[in-house]
Amino acid sequence: MIKAGIIGSTGYAGNELVRILTGHKEVEIKWYGSRSYIDKKYYEVYQNMFQIVDDVCMDDNMEVLANEVDVIFTATPQGLCASLVNEEILSKVKIVDLSADFRIKDVATYEKWYGIEHKSPEFIEEAVYGLCEINREDVKKARLVANPGCYTTCSILTIYPLAKEGLIDMSSIIIDAKSGTSGAGRGAKVDNLFCEVNENMKAYGVATHRHTPEIEEQLGYASGENVLLNFTPHLVPMNRGILVTAYANLKEGVTYETVRAAYDKYYKEEKFVRVLDKDVCPQTKWVEGSNYVDVNFKIDPRTNRIIMMGALDNLVKGAAGQAVQNMNLMFGFKETEGLELVPMFP
């Protein structure tokens, strides 16, 4: 049994961590961190935890927390984890950071896209990008894991086999993505009010979304090329879910069988990536509340382009579920422990 602390436990991703870890056989949550609700009972913030979690919310003192737990999850805005972490803390405890602080290896790129100074660049090289299906062995040895973003997880896993096998022109990739409103967090924002979101769909962060360099970097590692792509996210009126539709030019002579073999090569043994049957398109409703990613593709012979599709729950595989999957690998637990969540429907 290990002890866990969560900094940022009262955000949507933090609450999802609490929900998942409450059912985890190997973990006890010892610290519910929240700057906004210090000394307030956790169930008073999330009534679904009434008679399940009776603890009060604590602050975000990582130095004190590192002496009390074995793993710290930071479900916080960009910049906070980097401002708190140091060598003494990492010598005592393992950290899974759900922010973007350690995802991008180039400090200048991070500072350009996020508009803030990186407070602990000395740990960027050490941090492991926690996409378990790709970096599993490195995650097992890590003491600091950068948990990928929701859009990036869906985009990378959807495209990765074709990038890795050299089946597509990496300079031709266009990613169209949709997200439910929980991806914007729990803070009060006019753009996320019911009247603003309901019966509406809109693009945002066009040509400027912060997940763009993360996707480019990881697909660059896969393909061995410098990748430049278009990524356009959209907000849709639902609570949860990411749907990615990506387009690329196929290399000469690539067939359906070639592409299917590539997906099967990388995902046939993966518990949480489901390659769907031919002509079945991923849908967010079939992964909601679960750690699954559904992927599939369609070749358009008329244009010699391929349409790659993926769907996941942004709060589970796109955030908290992936964080727990990383923790399981870091501590040698069964990778699926706490995560065998059957998708909810309706």
What are the φ and ψ backbone dihedral angles of 194, each rounded to 5 degrees? Answer: -50, -45
The SS3 assignment for 144 reads strand
Active site residue 150: yes
Number of other residues whose CB lies within 10 A of the CB of residue 226:
10
Q: What is the DSSP letter of 48?
A: G
DSSP string, 242-310: EEEEEEEEBPTT--HHHHHHHHHHHHTT-SSEEEPPTTPPP-GGGTTTSS-EEEEEEEETTTTEEEEEE
**CB 246 within 8 Å of CB 158:** yes
Residue among 113, 36, 44 nearest 75 (CA)? 36
Rounded distance between C-alpha atoms, residue 70 and residue 185, angstroms: 27
Per the residue annotation, which of 81, 132, 150, 154 is the catalytic one?
Answer: 150
Rounded-to-integer distance, Cα 86 and Cα 10, Å: 24
Residue 285 in tokens: 């409703």
Contact 144, 127 (CB under 8 A): yes
Q: Which residues are catalytic?
A: 150
